[in-house]
Amino acid sequence: MKLRPARLALQALALAGVAGLLVLLVWKLTHDPGGGVAAQLSQGKRPQAPDFTLPRLDGQGSVDLAAIKKPRVIDFFASWCYACPRESRRLEKYSRTYAGRIAFVGVNTLDAGTDARKYVQRYALTYTIVRENGRKVLNAWGGLPIPRIFFIDRNGKVIGEMQAEEDLPRFLKKLALDA
């Protein structure tokens, strides 16, 4: 047996491996949102809201974000998160104030279903709560930490994320004018 064909085969294998890794790198760079909606907002952009369809926590069907044809607020939360109850209670209060004009959607993420249901019961939340298994939706919007609250206008553009306490009433007023 001559060594040359074997060496050529090994070199071809090594080249194929390197090419495969390059393809993976390009795929990652082109498909990774790179910080998601939150990163785009911090660059001053107003990105289109990534759509999602998630099952409701109460088991009564599912919710398609794009199908809601009015301004929306979405809040990513989990039962283990210390800062979440305060924001959930504020959202509950505002959801009553802006009922019919702004849709409020809580997205329970990285959480156990039973714990999430107890959370909703404990804080008496009446606005729509959906639940994601895993973290794909959360990552598309910017990932951890939570809570993360985003404001979406009636055309589906994300106009802001809550960074400070006063952002919530400010953005809600803006959305209500758009309604």
Partner 1 sequence: MRRLAPFVAAVLLLAPAAAASEHHPTLNELENEIMCPVCGTTLAQSDSPAAHAIERDIRARIAKGWTKSQIKDSLVRDYGEEILASPPKHGFNLLAWLLPLAGLAAAAAVLGVAAWGWSRRKPEPETVSPQSLNGHGPIDPELDRRVDEELARLD
Which residues 77-106 are close enough to bind partner 1 by CB under 8 A?
78-82
Tell me: does residue 122 bind partner 1 (CB under 8 A): no
Stretch that binds partner 1, among 31-39, 43-51, 72-80, 157-165 (CB under 8 A): 72-80
Asked if 114 interacts with partner 1 (CB under 8 A), we say yes
For residue 153 the two structure tokens come to 């206008």
Rounded-to-integer distance, Cα 57 and Cα 85, Å: 17
Q: Is the preceding omega at residue 50 within 30 degrees of 0, hence cis?
A: no
Cα angle vertex 78, ends 81, 38, to 5°? 90
Decide if residue 44 touches partner 1 (CB under 8 A).
no
Per rule CB under 8 A, is residue 45 in the interface with partner 1? Answer: no
| 11 lies in the site for partner 1, by CB under 8 A | no
Per CB under 8 A, the list member of 35, 55, 113, 156 interacting with partner 1 is 113
Q: Decide: is 133 part of the binding site for partner 1 (CB under 8 A).
A: yes
Distance CA 159, CA 44 (A): 10
Positions in 137-156 near partner 1 (CB under 8 A): 144-145
Cα separations (Å) of 175 from 102, 105, 153? 7, 15, 6
Asked whether position 130 contacts partner 1 by CB under 8 A, the answer is no
